[in-house]
Amino acid sequence: MKRPTRLHYFQHEPFEGLGSIEEWALLKGFSLASTHLYKNDSLPELEHFDWLVVMGGSMSVNDEAALPWLRPEKAFVKQAILAGKVVIGICLGAQMIANVLGSKVQYNEHKEIGWFPIHWDPEALRHTLFRHIPPSLNVMHWHGETFEMPLGAMPLAKSKACMNQGFLYKEKVLGLQFHPEFDEKSTDEMLAYCSHELQEGAYVQSGDKMIEQRHFIIPAKAALFGILDALANQNNP
């Protein structure tokens, strides 16, 4: 009997878990394990997982002096990529992957918080992983920094506030600046813990506006599940 695909995820905040990725993984029969970096959990062994998902967080990948676990985490993410694992990064996770691939992570011109459309690159939409996605998709954002595009990566999308919203690297490494995994619980928890970040800005919505627009969860989730399905078919035949 074939063993289940093993998904391990790195969590950086008590309130930023897998979101709807957990639902998808359980539907697919994946096993789940996690490392909570904010609790100083030990990193796993590379041979103990097949997929690595690096979640978001309010910190910066440049905060190594204040958060000593960032340096070993980044080294581990690079090892997982070199070992040929499927590696997915969401928001901070995408910035971390870009950083270990040699790209700078820095403040974006605008903070981007709330439901805003991303516009997919036509070349990306011709790729197997993304051909089910509409050219424009409203997704949740919650970030103040951005990454430079890693050398050799395929750009995926952009928004008015942020030019680099995602990349695919060597078919197995996916970075998404936005939050397609956010469900109602994720939104509620972010508003409960991070509402102090909702300062006035051209691309910062109010909490009420974000709740009002939670219907965008459904198409964002469908896009995410389609990407994950295609990634699983490609890597778990």
CATH number at residue 30: 3.40.50.880
Distance CA 4, CA 116 (A): 36
In sequence order, the β-bridge partners of residue 46 are: none
pTM, two decimals, is 0.97
- What pLDDT is recorded for position 1? 62
Q: Which range marks the domain in which residue 216 is found?
A: 6-235
Who wins on pLDDT, 49 or 200? 49
DSSP-derived 3-state class of residue 162: coil
Residues 138-186 pLDDT 10s:
999 999 999 999 999 999 999 999 999 999 999 999 999 999 999 999 9
Answer yes or no: are the C-beta atoms of 143 and 111 closer than 8 Å: yes
Determine, yes or no, domain membership for 1.
no
Q: How many distinct structural domains can be found in the chain?
A: 1
DSSP-derived 3-state class of residue 9: strand
HSE-up of residue 133 (Cα within 13 Å, Cβ side): 32
Determine, yes or no, domain membership for 55.
yes
- What pLDDT is recorded for position 237? 52
- What pLDDT is recorded for position 153? 98
Cα distances from 191 to residues 107, 113, 127, 210, in angstroms, run 22, 11, 35, 9
Determine, yes or no, domain membership for 197.
yes
- What pLDDT is recorded for position 200? 83
Answer yes or no: are the C-beta atoms of 29 and 6 closer than 8 Å: no
Using alpha carbons only, how large is the chain's radius of gyration in Å? 17
DSSP-derived 3-state class of residue 84: coil
